[in-house]
Amino acid sequence: MQIIIQPIEKDINNNILNLLSNSVSAEFNNVNDVIVAPKLKVDVQNFIDRNRNQLRSTDLLHCTLERIKPTKEMKVLSICDIDAYSGNLNFVFGEASLGGRVAAIYLPRLRPEFYNLEHDDLVFKDRIVKEAIHELGHAFGLIHCNNKRCVMHFSNSLHDTDFKNKTFCENCKNKL
C-alpha cells in the first residue's frame, strides 16, 4: 500500500510536507511507502462557489481521482491552502471518500490567525497532522469514533481537533 501526499495548486512548505510524510508513515503500519508528490496544477477556480467564496471539496476529490487515477493499492491525500465546504456544512477541515482512494485537508481554518489569534506554528502543525491522519483513516474505511481522544473522533470545531490525539484508539487500530 502506498500513500501519496499531493500538494494542490499552491506550494506547501517543505517542513509541513516532511512532517506529514513522517507522521503518516508512523501511524499507518500497513503502508509500505509514503511519497510527497510535486505540486499538482488544478484550476481550482472551477471549484469555487462564488456566493460562499469557498472551494467545493467533493469536486476537488473527484478531480484528484480523475487526474491521478490511483490504483487500489494507493491513497492520495491532497493538501490545499484554500477554504472549503462540503454538502450542507459551513466548512470542512478535510474530507475523504469512505473506503476510497482520495482524501483532502484544507489549511486555512487550521491556522490560529484565521480566527484573529497569534500565529502558533506548533498548534498549526499539530492540527494538520491530526486532520491528515483522520481523513486517511476514512480513506482506509474507518468511520467516526465515539472516543473523544481518538484521531477518528468527529471534529465539529477546532476545540475537538485540539483535544484529540494524533493516533488511533485501540479499537480503530484493530479495524485498520
Provide the angle, in degrees to the nearest 10, between the axes of the packed helices 14-27 and 121-139: 50
66 is catalytic: no
Burial class (CB in 10 A: 0-12, 13-18, 19+), 132: buried
84-85 sheet: strands from edge to edge: 48-49, 54-56, 84-85
Set 9, 27, 95, 135: catalytic member:
135
Which residues lie closer than 8 Å to 73 by C-beta, 6 or more apart? Answer: 1, 2
Contact 61, 139 (CB under 8 A): no
Distances (CA, A) of 83 to 56, 93, 94: 9, 8, 10
- Mapped onto helix, strand or coil, the DSSP state of residue 107 is coil
Give the catalytic positions in this structure.
135
